Amino acid sequence: MNTINELTDDVRNRFYAAAGCHDWDHVTRVRNLCLRIAEKEGADTTVVDLAALLHDIARTEQDASKGNTCHAILGAVIAGQLLTTYAFDKDTIAQVVHCIESHRFRGVKDPMSKEAKVLFDADKLDSIGAVGIGRAFWFAGHIGAKLHNGEHTGVEHTKAYTKDDTAYREFIVKLRKVKDLLFTAEGRRLAEERHGYMVSFFDRFCRESEGAL
């Protein structure tokens, strides 16, 4: 067994009790997207793969703190420690750490390297389209939010982790903006179709919720 496979098994075990929005399936989807985008963009596939594998390693801590802990910053620290344990070289570790600390939508650090931009884009692509819609509804149900809050004229001013933190709120405050924030040409290309599907869905969802259909 090679080192990456051993590390993958270790990380998978850490996601045993992870919430459905950021579980092992999410990690797998992001890894697949990362490798697809990296091939198109000429990024280092080893760095990208390791970064995708470890990017949400501290997500459980953020969820437990109701957003007060930044999983990108804490995750970068944990990832650095893990990669050191598995004897990866310092340059690879530094590159992966940067990818992870800068991958968050609401993060304080911007992705500077090609590899960091690939991870950012892949992670955001998994938040939109059909999968993104499913994840948004899962999270809203998980925290006890109601099904829809379209009656709020200022839905963008509602608060996260409350009953108003619905899938529609997530679409308004975050998901509809994602396609314009991506860095890579391939990421932006993939985002266009996913964005269109999502817009059509929430348009119909709101109309059905209001009894228009």
Q: What average pLDDT score do residues 187-192 get?
A: 98
Q: What rounded mean pLDDT belongs to the chain? A: 91
Q: Is residue 62 part of a domain?
A: yes
H-only helix segments in the chain: 3-14, 24-41, 45-54, 59-64, 71-85, 90-101, 114-125, 129-142, 167-173, 185-209
Residue 65 has pLDDT above 90, yes or no: no
DSSP code at position 155: G
**Of the listed ranges 53-62, 94-103, 104-113, 152-161, the one predicted with least confidence:** 152-161
Residues 82 and 16 reside in one and the same domain: yes
The residue type found at 201 is F
Helix (H, G, I), strand (E, B) or coil at 109: coil
Residues 12 and 56 reside in one and the same domain: yes
Residues 24 and 86 reside in one and the same domain: yes
Give the integer Cα–Cα distance in Å for 87 and 4: 11
The predicted pLDDT at position 93 comes to 97
Which residues form the domain of 39? 1-109
The pTM for the full model equals 0.90
Residues 97, 76: contact at Cβ < 8 Å?
A: yes
Q: Is residue 51 part of a domain?
A: yes
DSSP code at position 113: S
Q: What average pLDDT score do residues 139-164 get?
A: 84
**Of the listed ranges 30-34, 53-57, 91-95, the one predicted with least confidence:** 53-57
CA 200 to chain centre: 22
The predicted pLDDT at position 45 comes to 97
Q: Is residue 164 part of a domain?
A: yes
Residues 104 and 199 reside in one and the same domain: no
Out of 109, 144, 164, a domain closes at: 109
Residues 137 and 197 reside in one and the same domain: yes
CA-wise closest residue to 105 among 133, 119, 124: 124
Residues 91 and 22 reside in one and the same domain: yes
Residues 11 and 104 reside in one and the same domain: yes
CA-wise closest residue to 204 among 171, 162, 173, 178: 171
The CATH number linked to 152 is 1.20.58.1910
Q: Is residue 115 part of a domain?
A: no
98-129 pLDDT, tens per residue?
999 999 877 678 999 999 999 999 999 999 99
